[in-house]
A and B are shown apart, each in its own frame.
Chain A
Amino acid sequence: MTDEQIDETWATLEPTFDQRRRIDARVFSWLEARDTTLVAEWLGLFRLHPLPALGLVSVSACAVAATPPVLWVVLALV
């Protein structure tokens, strides 16, 4: 078997259409996520799912506000 024939046979190891599509999708979604700022992520979330996003923000704000007094009470009791 010649070098060229081995080269031709090796070409059969190329990814298929579906394999290539999966690799492209995963790589570019990862890169897009890496390139997107946190503010843009939040704006995107509000644009796509406004109510759940608002709920998430409210719960987070309540948790942040409630943590110091709860901690203070717990530490006072211990």
Chain B
Amino acid sequence: MIVAVAVAARVPAPPLAALFAALSSRLGGAADPLPDDAIASLVAQARAGDGGARQALYEQFVDRVFRTVRGLLRSDADAEDVTQDAMLTVLTSLHTYRHRPDARFAAWVTAIALNTVRRRFRRRRPELTATGDLPDVPADATDPVEALDRARQRRALLIALAELPQRDREIVSLRYGADLNASDIAAAVGIGAANVRKILERTRARLGDRLDALLHPDGGTA
């Protein structure tokens, strides 16, 4: 995305780029992931009151937060609420983030999202069932066959995730949803990195088998 590249190069975003950023937001477009040092630069600018940097940070993380928390919650509506709350917390608490080489901003954002999910669990303990709601077919999809196939995959993934224990579901969501490494996950979940790797290996195999069984019940392979 143009504004992201401009900010990464530490050049003030021109009005046209800001316009593109706003348009991209309106269209629900995902931002290209930025390297950690560019993110740190955006955080510094957003702290100084730069609205464009705050918008760019939001664009960087909103989809990632949604796909991380979706597998931990019962419905899309819950995931929307949690994503909104988590992103608001992130954007209004930037002054509390301390940049360190071992504390990536992505891990900090994900820890906030995970805490928001846990607070929601404490408030009204939802039963996490696989069939809590049917996955919706994206209205903006151009190819109906592809859209149906994605909806089928989505439903299979939600079913497979609902069958996992809570801790394993969190770990696998942080790995594939938030794209965190074992050390970041260990810090967020509060267990050792070696243990995270072991759980990931086991859960990945279990998830893969279950997805294969759900997507190819006749025994075919992906």
Contact = CB atoms under 8 A, between A and B. Distances in A.
Interface of A: 1-3, 5-7, 9-24, 26-27, 30-31, 34
Interface core residue of B80, B136, B140 (most chain A CB under 10 Å): B80
A3 B204 contact: yes
B66 A13 contact: yes
A64 B27 CA distance: 48
Given A10-B177, A31-B88, A20 B67 contact: no
Given A1-B212, A10-B176, A23-B84, A18 B26 contact: no
B92 interface: yes
Interface of B: 25-28, 30, 54, 58, 62-63, 66-67, 70-71, 76, 79-80, 83-84, 87-88, 91-92, 135-136, 138-140, 150-151, 153-154, 156-158, 176-177, 204, 207-209, 211-212, 222
A4 B138 CA distance: 22
A17 B140 contact: yes
Given A20-B63, A24-B25, 10 more contacts: A2-B208, A3-B204, A12-B151, A13-B67, A14-B66, A14-B67, A17-B140, A20-B62, A23-B62, A30-B88
A13 B80 contact: no
Given A7-B176, A20-B28, A14 B63 contact: yes
A21 B27 CA distance: 7
B87 A23 contact: yes
B139 A16 contact: yes
A29 to B, nearest CB: 10
Contacts of B88: 27, 30-31
